[in-house]
Structure 1
Amino acid sequence: MKLPDDDTLATATLDTPIGRLRIAAIDDGLAAVLFPNQKDAGFPKREGSAKARAHRDKALKALDLYFEGRKKDFSGLTLAASGTPFQKSVWRALADIPFGETRSYAEIARAIGNPKGMRAVGLANGRNPIPVIVPCHRVIGADGSLTGFGGGLPTKKWLLEFEGISAPRLL
């Protein structure tokens, strides 16, 4: 993940039940959430600008409340994910999946007006730079199976079960 390498970038870490998350914000909003298993490339420790720190701190508080079971959506955060227009349309559809519910790749493809774009939706889902907040973990296979996840399938299973969704057993 490549983030702006200038003085506006504000980063932090947050210890959670799924491991230490790394958070990055820029002046325009929250830019990234990284799982413990993701590489640090392009993710320097920075205090950043006052605007970026405000976005970062708001995201940290929202994630804390989520993992305490006291927050079910992240609608109050300003997001600044970098991506193509298609990716952003997928990420907006992901953000519309309510807490405690799942969708298939086909359902997301239909929701964005591209019913044959399931594979492209899967690729965009996998490039989501703001997981948990943009809930890509809520996308499962059409048969109910867990599918790939940047944080690893055990993390995806944990998040789904935390939200009250019965997830298949991992092999």
Structure 2
Amino acid sequence: MEVYFTRLNWNDTSFPIAASETGLCYVGALNEPSDLFDDWIRKHLPRAELIEHPRIMQPYQEQLLEYLNGVRTRFSLPLHLIGTPFQLEVWQALCQVPYGVTVTYSDIAKQIYRPGATRAVGTAISKNRVLIVVPCHRIVGKKGDLTGYWGGLNMKRQLLEIEQVSSSKLPFL
């Protein structure tokens, strides 16, 4: 399998993005070191041939930049999500959280009909490596506070500011 990648430049930052023939499989954190991306690919797609190819990645770059610049509110990109069945279920639920809305881990657990699985949901969310597109930045603590985010709380805050969201919980269910 071939996996194409490039670094997306936005403002004074850059981050890796990658896609297989199936779709987008990786959107990294702002200023993420290349070795984190390389390690993730080797672990999750060990047979992949990694090819730097900005032209193939152009449609992905365009939509991500439109989002980051406040123009796009929904993505229409094919995805290649790599995870356990439970993780995939959680990530699909994340994709249902509307732009500009924040919800809690508990809300996601209820959405997937597993109200007692809040911690497992949190763990699954922490494994998401298609940041921004699978919008785990829209998940907040039960009191509306900004909680852990693989890309760091500064990135989470920036993404929520793009969406003009306060850190208070808004309903989506």
Name the TM-score, length of structure 2 as normaliser: 0.83
| Residue 16 of structure 1, aligned match among 10, 15, 26 | 10
| Residue 32 of structure 2, aligned match among 31, 37, 43 | 37
Contact persistence 2:15–2:32 (CA under 8 A): no
- Residue 9 of structure 1 aligns to which amino acid in structure 2? V
Residue 63 (structure 1) aligns with: 64
Structure 1's unaligned 5+ residue stretches are: 1-5
Structure 2's unaligned 5+ residue stretches are: 42-48, 169-173
How far off its partner does 1:167 sit?
3.2
Query: Over residues 3-33 of structure 1, what are the superposed CA-to-partner deviations in whole Å (9 max), with x where a residue is unaligned?
Result: xxx5x11001111247212101001111101
How far off its partner does 1:136 sit?
0.2
Distance (Å, rounded) in 2 between the aligned partners of 1:87 and 1:77: 19
Q: How many residues in Structure 1 have an aligned counterpart in Structure 2?
A: 157
Q: Would you say 1:140 and 2:143 are equivalent positions?
A: no
Using CA pairs under 8 Å that are at least 6 residues apart, name the structure with larger relative contact order, 1 or 2: 2
Which runs of at least 4 in structure 1 moved beyond 2 Å after TM superposition? 40-45
Identity of aligned residues (%): 37
- 3-state DSSP class of the match of 2:14? strand
Distance (Å, rounded) in 2 between the aligned partners of 1:29 and 1:92: 15
Query: Over residues 114-144 of structure 1, what are the superposed CA-to-partner deviations in whole Å (9 max), with x where a residue is unaligned?
Result: 1100000000100001010110000000100
Q: Would you say 1:46 and 2:47 are equivalent positions?
A: no
Residue 121 (structure 2) aligns with: 121
How far off its partner does 1:166 sit?
1.6
Residue 77 (structure 1) aligns with: 77
How far off its partner does 1:58 sit?
1.8
- 3-state DSSP class of the match of 2:5? strand
